[in-house]
A and B are shown apart, each in its own frame.
Chain A
Amino acid sequence: MELKLHNVNKTYDEKDILIDINLDIHDESGIAIIGPSGAGKSTLLRLLSLIEKPDSGEIHVNKYDLNEIEPEEYYKKIGFVFQAHTLFPHLTVLRNITLILEQVHNKTKEEANKIALDLLDRFELSEHIHKRASQLSGGQSQRVSIVRGIAISPEVLFFDEPTSALDPVLTQEVLSTIIKLREEKMNFVIVTHEILFAKKAADFIIFMDCGKIVEMGHVDILENPQSKELQNFLSNVFLW
């Protein structure tokens, strides 16, 4: 996957949230964004997925220039897994997945069902297909969200803290699902506070603080952090 950002800025209510973000990443398939809460990680992810636009700057994801592309076109190329509560609660697990395939990706009902059922089977969710999304446990619900994200065969899958609403056991359940994706060479960008997981699942680490990228590089930087901020952050995280 390629990520290229040039002088990207974002403000909310005249407050600087992202300040002059620059990135140039080639040929990495797993990217983890870490950093304290309020650093701007989710905001960056919303810009990368074109849920929002930057105030200024350029963003390229793979061959797409996000200032140029029609959002509808771009949304067909990416998947997104949110923190929690974004399965549509009135629909069954199966329908949560097939609805997008049928309506947005123009698959027939049969094609959509086949794709969804195969994936749900592979992720050991077959027994839940006819449950309403609102009847699932937190962990199941996030795993279904992941299946929904990959069902459209996205070029990149974005995750925003997919386990932060879960207890440790369910967290492991979801994280091993994501590691499975990595073994299948899925490109993803994940915001996470699970540092051990980031070490295992990511090739490239971006550490953010106060709206800036403070340190980034190969996953090794977690073993050997250069900046004071990352050192502090890691020592606090490991205390937990």
Chain B
Amino acid sequence: MISDRQNRILSFVAALLIFGLFIALIYYAFPARADLDFSSYYPWRNIIFKGWLLTIVVSIIVLVASIILGFLLYLLTNSKILVLKYLGAIFNEIVFGSPLVVFLVIVYYFIGVPLHINNRLIVGSIALSLYMAPYMKNVFEGAMESIDDMQYQAMTVFGFTTYQKYRYIIIPQLLKIIIPPLAGNLTFIVKGSSLLNFIGVPELYNQITTAQSNTYAVVEGYTLMLIMYLIITIPLIRLTRSLEKKVALWN
């Protein structure tokens, strides 16, 4: 008899094998396939690794900046002052309606160039953070709604001061609620950061395409790229899931 755990491991390995076989089948059945040869990328390893690190760094910067912008946007769209509310709403609609790559290029030309922000990394981070802000705003909105109205009455009648309410009750609950969706948005940011290539930020996508134009090994380049993105995103996705499960226990 095999244990539950062994069964799960075996099944997982089997699934990986089937998946690998499937890819191999497509690869060998594909008549115009290139003969995969990754060795031409070896001389580019430092540049590619730097690009990969930059992807991680940009993602973290954008995560922090978009959380702050998202919170400001939350305050704006929930403002009692109608002008501010509508300003926030208009921004949301524009972002939700725009393809990311178009938005990035527009920000580059309409904000970066006029303001003489020459550092592409900075312009790129600003652009991606602006794009992510409405998604972050939604996270805050969901979190605020999740605290039951009666809890606020309870906090009041038990005599907590405003500071104590936030410090001990509201913020700890909000943190627990927003962490899983934030981790989810981080995955989105990592993937979206590949489009910063279009405004010349030397992140992973950009560096590999640079190498590609020298090695001419296009398929290998994209394969490498996929693997290097997955190395970042799969752990993030797993982390998001486990956080979600943990949080579910609290409700």
Contact = CB atoms under 8 A, between A and B. Distances in A.
A and B: partners? yes
Given A103-B168, A134-B250, A90 B176 contact: yes
B159 A89 contact: no
B207 to A, nearest CB: 43
A43 interface: no
Contacts of A46: 153
Contacts of A123: none
A100 B158 contact: yes
A75 B148 contact: no
Given A75-B156, A78-B157, A90 B150 contact: no
Contact of A100 (B151, B159, B173, B249): B159
Most buried by B among A50, A83, A88, A104: A88
| 9 nearest A-B pairs in the assembled complex, by CB-CB distance | A75-B159, A86-B154, A104-B159, A80-B157, A134-B250, A86-B150, A85-B148, A100-B158, A90-B173
A102 to B, nearest CB: 10
A73 B136 CA distance: 39
Interface string B235-251: 00000000000000111
Contacts of B173: 88-90
Interface of B: 148, 150-151, 153-154, 156-161, 164, 168-169, 172-173, 176, 249-251
B158 A75 contact: yes
Given A88-B173, A90-B172, A76 B249 contact: no
Contacts of B161: 72
Interface in A67-104: 71-72, 75-76, 78, 80, 82-86, 88-90, 99-100, 103-104
A159 to B, nearest CB: 12
Nearest to B169: A88
A134 B251 contact: yes
Contact of B168 (A78, A85, A99): A99
A85 B151 contact: yes
A239 interface: no
A141 interface: no
B194 to A, nearest CB: 37
Contacts of A100: 158-160
Interface in A135-160: 135
Contacts of B169: 88, 90
Contact of B148 (A51, A86, A99, A135): A86
Contact of B150 (A50, A76, A78, A85): A85
Contacts of B148: 85-86
Contact of A82 (B153, B160, B176, B251): B153
A114 B173 CA distance: 26
A45 to B, nearest CB: 10
A103 B160 contact: yes
17 contacts: A50-B157, A51-B153, A75-B156, A80-B158, A83-B150, A86-B153, A88-B151, A88-B169, A88-B173, A89-B251, A90-B172, A90-B173, A99-B168, A103-B160, A103-B168, A132-B249, A135-B249
A75 B157 contact: yes
Contact of A103 (B157, B164, B172): B164
Nearest to A103: B164
A180 to B, nearest CB: 22
Contacts of B250: 89-90, 132, 134
A88 B173 CA distance: 9
Contacts of A99: 168
A153 to B, nearest CB: 14
Contacts of B151: 85-86, 88
Given A71-B156, A82-B153, A103-B164, 14 more contacts: A50-B157, A51-B153, A72-B159, A72-B161, A75-B156, A75-B157, A75-B158, A78-B157, A80-B154, A86-B153, A89-B251, A90-B176, A103-B168, A134-B249
A171 to B, nearest CB: 19
A111 B181 CA distance: 39
Nearest to B174: A90
A9 interface: no
A127 to B, nearest CB: 19
Most buried by A among B158, B168, B250: B158
A163 interface: no
A49 interface: yes
A104 B158 contact: yes
A51 to B, nearest CB: 5
Most buried by B among A85, A86, A134: A86
Contacts of A84: 150
